[in-house]
Amino acid sequence: MTARIIDGNALSAEVRGQLAERAAALKTKGITPCLAVILVGEDPASAVYVRNKVAACEKAGMRSLRDVYAPDVDPAVVFARIAELNADPTVHGILVQLPLPKHFDSEAVLEAISPEKDVDGFHAENVGALMQGNPRFIPCTPYGVMKMLESANVPLKGAEVVIVGRSNIVGKPMAMLLLAQSCTVTICHSQSRDLAFHTKRADILVAAVGRAKMITGDMIKPGATVIDVGINRTPEGKLCGDVDFETAKEVAGAITPVPGGVGPMTITMLLANTLEAAERTQMRCAK
Ligand code: GUN
């Protein structure tokens, strides 16, 4: 059996088309959705992500601002810029690309972003709202995964879900979203004993650890849905996920590829959150 491919590029194109229509409708009311992206340092992967985010905004008819700072910038400069963006009514979303250099207090930076403009959903207020089952901004990668599961008609109620990875960006919010859909959720991490014992029980397996091809076919339950959040490079420089696609696709029922799986959906949901933020300002003005 070869798994059904859950195509993130195709779903992204469909959702981005709908977002572009909503952005155009908002423009007729005098509001152009605008995302401000801040990048500190010269990490090549982060630079590519930021470039892709900015390009996606333009393509969807949204405005974007990009501020790039040297790796040794004084954090006060970045805090001042965030304050300026918070106060600017033409800016609807603010994103600080992570990771930040070591001399930054990342948590303090995320807390400095106005919760109403926190389109990453990383501010403690938004994390708390998600935890309480009343999300205001859903972190983009888990949000994209939920859209993919929905589009692929994967049953969620009562499903055994295993998430490998406990990050604030993916693992933890992913668990909250799936729990809200009545899944039974297990989170595994680097200290978990017998990882394969857990993964083999999963109807839905989400890999989000950042280690190339660490989930192999023999760790997957036959017919399971496998979501690969990883973006890694092989020693030969080829992009690959956390899942060994070649062996996994022979066992899984459905699987997301890398590239062309979760990655494009992350950017799509960032656009969705930015648009949503802009629409909320319009609703506040109309009241
Ligand atoms: N670094 C890796 N993923 C993300 C993300 O979703 N948002 C931000 N801001 N930084 C990241």
- Residue-wise pLDDT for 200-237, tens only, equals 999 999 999 999 999 999 999 999 999 999 999 999 99
pTM over 0.95: yes
Which is catalytic among the residues 7, 18, 72, 97? 97
Asked whether residue 272 is assigned to any structural domain, the reply reads no
Same domain, 144 and 255: yes
| 63-69: strand order across its sheet | 63-69, 34-40, 93-96
User: Are 98 and 166 found together in one domain?
Assistant: no
- Looking at 88-170, list the stretches that DSSP marks H as alpha helix, in order from N- to C-terminal side: 106-112, 124-131, 140-151
- 256 touches ligand 1 (CB under 6 Å): no
Does 79 reside within a domain?
yes
- Domain presence at residue 170: yes
pLDDT tens digits for range 14-66: 999 999 999 999 999 999 999 999 999 999 999 999 999 999 999 999 999 99
**Sorting pLDDT into bands at 50, 70 and 90, what band is 284?**
confident
SS3 per-residue string spanning 155-208 = CCCCCEEEEECCCCCCHHHHHHHHHHCCCEEEEECCCCCCHHHHHCCCCEEEEC
What pLDDT sits at residue 173? 98
Q: Is 141 in the pocket of ligand 1 (CB under 6 A)?
A: yes
75-128 pLDDT, tens per residue?
999 999 999 999 999 999 999 999 999 999 999 999 999 999 999 999 999 999
d(CA 246, CA 248): 6
118-144 pLDDT tens trace: 999 999 999 999 999 999 999 999 999
Same structural domain, 154 and 82: no
- The answer to the question of residue 279 being in a domain is no
Beta bridge partners of 187: 163
d(C-alpha 172, C-alpha 166), whole Å: 6
How many domains would you assign to the chain? 2
**One domain, residues 145 and 238:** yes
Amino acid 68: pLDDT: 98
Q: Is 97 a catalytic residue?
A: yes
Reply yes or no on whether 105 is catalytic: no
| 198 and 108 inside one domain | no
Is the peptide bond preceding residue 89 cis, with omega within 30 degrees of 0?
A: no
Q: Which of 33, 54, 130 is nearest to 97 (CA)?
A: 54
List, in sequence order, every beta strand (DSSP E) within the chain: 4-5, 34-40, 63-69, 93-96, 160-164, 184-188, 204-207, 225-228, 232-233, 239-240, 254-255
Other residues' Cβ atoms within 10 Å of the Cβ of residue 80: 12
Do 146 and 185 lie in one domain? The reply is: yes
Catalytic, 53? Answer yes
Q: Is residue 256 part of a domain?
A: yes
How far, CA to CA in Å, does 111 sit from each of 14, 89, 97, 107, 117?
33, 19, 14, 6, 11
pLDDT at 285: 74
- Give the pLDDT band (50/70/90) at residue 287: low
CATH of the domain at 167: 3.40.50.720
Secondary structure of residue 222 in the 3-state scheme: coil
- Residue 125 domain-assigned (yes or no): no
Q: What is the mean pLDDT of residues 252-273?
A: 98
Residues whose CB is less than 8 angstroms from the CB of residue 213 and which lie 6 or more positions away in sequence, other chains included: 232, 234, 240, 241, 242, 243, 244, 245
- The answer to whether the CB of 118 is under 6 A from ligand 1 is no
The confidence score (pLDDT) of residue 244 equals: 98
pLDDT of residue 228: 98
For the domain that residue 57 is a member of, what is the CATH number? 3.40.50.10860
pLDDT of residue 282: 83
Domain span at residue 232 reads 140-263
Residue 182 confidence (pLDDT): 98
Is residue 102 in some structural domain?
yes
Q: Looking at the domain assignment, is residue 60 inside a domain? A: yes
